[in-house]
């Protein structure tokens, strides 16, 4: 957009140099206002999409970190007393479900039904694919709920919690980044 504005300004400059500076200043100011008017919720949604799907600022997105992993690799525990990638994926999916319920006002949402880091019981490729599909499904449901919120609701408290919607949303971003990084490290550790 800035290039288009500059091109028009340069064309105008040939006819009326004093107008072109005023025009450029007004166009640039409008452009900057548009950039600064991104709502906080739009920013959070963009961050969650990037962290999950690609274009993440911190390194590989969660999906990129999981790409090409076999069930055996996902279930491996290359670091003693650490969770496997599979357990972490189940953890993230379970908590995204809880976060969604909290945003929707469910007062009883406390911990994922399967547990915080559910153990892997079926080590088949099919079960691994189902786990990845479950993660994608829960992530998309969470994004949908966030997209229906308004910036005005950010200061309201999450039902039965002593923190605001804003605090929860930023915590969701941090949770996703933390575990995406954790999975990347585990993947590297299993390759050495």
* Ordered DSSP codes for 99-111: HHHHHHT-TT--S
pLDDT at 79: 93
Residue matched to tokens 């969701």: 172
So what's the pLDDT on residue 148?
A: 94
Per-residue pLDDT of the chain (192 residues; tens, 9 = 90+): 444 434 433 343 443 444 444 444 444 444 444 455 679 999 999 999 999 998 888 889 999 999 999 999 999 999 999 999 999 999 999 999 999 999 999 888 789 999 999 999 999 999 999 999 999 999 999 999 999 999 999 999 998 899 999 999 999 999 999 999 999 999 999 887
For residues 42 and 154, is the Cβ–Cβ distance under 8 A? no
* pLDDT on residue 7: 42
Is-contact 62 91, C-beta < 8 A?
no
pLDDT of res. 23: 44
Global pTM value: 0.79
CA dihedral sign of residues 124, 125, 129, 131: positive
> Are residues 87 and 119 in contact, defined by beta-carbon separation less than 8 angstroms?
yes
The predicted structure's pLDDT at residue 100: 96
Q: Which pLDDT score, from 0 to 100, does residue 18 have?
A: 46
Give phi and psi for 65, each to the nearest 5: -65, -25
How big is the CA angle at 32 (ends 29 and 34), to the nearest 5 degrees? 110
Partners of 157 in the β-ladder: 164
Question: Looking at residue 37, what is its pLDDT?
Answer: 61
164, two tokens: 């605001």
Q: What gap in Å lies between CA 136 and CA 67, rounded to an integer? A: 13
Q: So what's the pLDDT on residue 36? A: 57
The reported pLDDT for the residue numbered 33 is 47
Closest CA to 99 of 56, 50, 44: 44
Within 10 A of 94 (CB to CB), how many other CB atoms are there? 21
> What pLDDT is attached to residue 101?
95
Residues 6 or more apart in contact with residue 41 via CB below 8 angstroms: 146, 147, 149, 150, 151, 154, 169
Give me the pLDDT at residue 46, please. 95
């Amino acid at each position: 957009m800035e290039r288009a504005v500059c091109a028009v300004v340069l064309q105008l400059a040939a006819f009326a140099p004093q107008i072109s500076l005023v025009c450029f200043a007004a166009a640039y100011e409008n452009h900057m206002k548009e950039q600064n008017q991104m709502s906080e919720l739009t920013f959070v949604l963009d961050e969650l999409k990037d962290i999950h799907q690609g274009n993440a600022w911190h390194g590989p997105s969660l999906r990129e970190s999981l790409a090409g992993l076999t069930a055996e690799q996902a279930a491996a525990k290359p670091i003693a007393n650490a969770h496997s990638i599979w357990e972490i994926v189940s953890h993230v999916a379970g908590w995204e479900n809880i976060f969604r319920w909290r945003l929707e006002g469910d007062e009883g949402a406390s911990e994922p039904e399967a547990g915080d880091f559910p153990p892997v019981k079926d080590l088949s490729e099919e079960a691994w694919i189902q786990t990845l599909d479950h993660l994608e499904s829960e992530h998309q449901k969470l994004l949908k709920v966030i997209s229906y919120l308004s910036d005005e609701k950010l200061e309201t408290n999450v039902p039965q919690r002593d923190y605001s919607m804003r605090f929860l949303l930023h915590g969701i971003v941090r949770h996703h980044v933390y575990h995406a990084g954790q999975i990347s490290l585990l993947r590297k550790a299993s390759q050495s």
